[in-house]
Amino acid sequence: MRQRLTIILTFIVIIGALVALNSLTYVKKEESQDFEVAPNRSTYHSGPTGLRALHDFLNESGYKVIRWRETPQKLLSDSGKQVTTFVVVGLTRLPFTAEEDKALRNWVARGGHLVFIDRYIDNEVIPKSAGWTLSGTQLDSPNLDTNPADIKDMTEKVVALPPVQPTVLTNNVTSVLPSRFASRVRVVPPEAETVEGNSPTESEATPASISRAPIVHIADSEGALLVDYSYGLGNVVVLSDPYIVANGGIKLNDNLQLAINMLTSRGGLIAFDEYHQGRGVTQNAFASYFAGTPVLAIAAQIALLVLLVLWTNARRFGRPLPLPQVDRRSSLEFVASMAELQERSRAFDLAIENIYARTRRVLARHAGVDYNSSRSEIAARIASRSSLNAHKLETLMRQCEEVINGEPTNWRQSVELVRRLREVEKELGLRMRSRDIRQAAENI
C-alpha cells in the first residue's frame, strides 16, 4: 500500500509540474488583424469583420437566436423545422456543395426565410426566382491596406442611402450607410434573360418556384442594395454589403435597424450559418474551444504520461536479479536450535566443546598465559590469583577435555560439568554467560 501511495503521489507531482511549466511558458497569442479582403464573418468573431455584436444584441433583446453548426440538409429534418430564418453571410470559409444548395432551396420553398448577405451574388446558393435573375456589380474592391476598423477608410466618399419605398424591411429606417465596397444588384427580367440564352429550366418553372418580381427596398443610381423575392412558400432577402451588419459598421446610421428588420420580419427562430464559417460540429469542438490555450498541451502530455505508465507496467529494463536473502533469525534462535539438535542426537561432547573452548580461552587470558599452555600451568596461575583450588580446577579441565576427546558421558554428567564451569566463571567474575546474552540481544 505504501508503494502504491508513493507512485500515486509521484504521478500527481509530475502532473502538477507539467501544469505549472505549461502555464509559465504559455504566451497568449495576440488577436490577428482583420482584413477586409479576407474577412471573418462568424458570429463568434468580435473583430470588425465579424457578426458578434449583431448576434449578442438579438440574443439579449429577447429574440430567439442560435448558431447553426450543421449542414443545410439538417434544415429538412425535425431539428430544422424550428428554424424560421436562416442567415448566410459571405464570403464563407467553406463553399456550398451542390447537395447543400439543393437542400437550402427546398427548405426555402417549404416556407423558410433566407437572408443572404454578400457582395458577390452566388446564384448557386440563393434560390433563383422563376424567370428573374439577380446579378451583382462591385464598384470597388478592398486590398491588404484596407482597415475594416477604420470607418473613414471604409466609408470614404460614400453617401447614406434612404429607402426607395416604405416596406416591412425599411420600417423605421431613415438611411443606411454601406461601405465603399458595396456591390449593386441588378434585376434581370425574364425577357432579357431569355434573349441572353439563360432561359429558366423546367425544374425552376414548377409551381413551387413561381414568384413575383423581386422588390427593391434600398437603391441608388448604380443599382439596388437590398432586394427580396418570394420562392415557393418562402422568401429570400439579398443584401449586397456585409459591412452594414458587421461589427465595424452596424452602429452607423440605421444599419442596426435594417438588420433587425431583415432577420425578425418573419419571427421565430433565427439561425446564423456557422457551418460554412468553419465552426461545424464535424470538427473537434474540444480542440476548437481550447485553441490558443495551454490546455491542449497539458492534455497531450498527460495522455503521453499515462501511455508511458501503461507501456512500462510489469516491463523489465535490465537483467533479472535474485531477491536479497535476509536471515531473520536471531542469535538466540540459533543457539536454541543447536541445543535442541545436540540433545536429540545426544551429542553432549559438542555441547561441552562449545562451552569449554570459550571458558579455556578466557581462563588463559585471565591467567596471563597462552591458550595452548598446559592445564596445570593455567590452574596454578588461576589459583595464585584467586581462592580456587588448583587441583580441582585442573581436574575439571581434564574431565571436559576427556569428554571432548570421546569419553562416554550422559546428559546429567554434561550438565554437571557445565554447572561447574559456570561456577568458576562466577568465582573469577568473568560473567561470560551474561555477556553472551547481551551480545545476542544486540544482534537481534
* 10-residue mean pLDDT series, the chain (444 residues): 67 75 61 81 92 95 94 90 93 90 93 94 80 83 90 93 94 95 87 46 41 84 92 92 94 95 93 90 58 71 78 69 66 60 67 82 86 88 87 89 83 83 82 53 50
Q: What is the pLDDT of residue 21?
A: 72
Q: Alpha-carbon distance 31 to 43, whole Å?
A: 16
Q: What is the pLDDT of residue 333?
A: 62
Q: What is the pLDDT of residue 435?
A: 52
Q: What is the pLDDT of residue 350?
A: 75
Q: Rounded to 5 degrees, what angle do the CA atoms 134, 140, 142 make?
A: 115
Q: What is the pLDDT of residue 163?
A: 95
Q: What is the pLDDT of residue 15?
A: 75
Q: What is the pLDDT of residue 354?
A: 78
List the grid coordinates of 228.
Answer: 427580396
Confidence (pTM): 0.58
Q: What is the pLDDT of residue 198?
A: 43
Q: What is the pLDDT of residue 346?
A: 67
Q: What is the pLDDT of residue 200?
A: 40
